[in-house]
Structure 1
């Protein structure tokens, strides 16, 4: 599946996920968007196979299938 265009919130979320698993509540303390908006973006990223929701805990991680580009940064 082709990756959708990423907005600034998506890029910030993926930057935090590069460091490890996160919740929307944690992301809201780290980046400048509301928890509700972050949750919306995480669901969209999940629909596109970029992140995985690890269950009822609301914990997200980067999907195994999400490949890192050659320049060393995720797109």
Structure 2
């Protein structure tokens, strides 16, 4: 299994845990607080996904996201 495949569920888990942690630490749970922290949690999950993908590319565990221009040209 490619490391990039595991990034999506781990980003979702990070976003859920981050949102729950922020809700727990804020103390009050009302509609506005849940909405704002859910939007921030979504942004944090997406940012975590791209940050980890970038780190994996630096470690050469994941290839670039663009397919090769000419896949069968060099044989």
TM-score by structure 2 length? 0.33
Higher share of residues assigned strand: 1
TM-score by structure 1 length? 0.33
Higher share of residues assigned helix: 2
Tell which structure's C-alpha radius of gyration is larger: 2
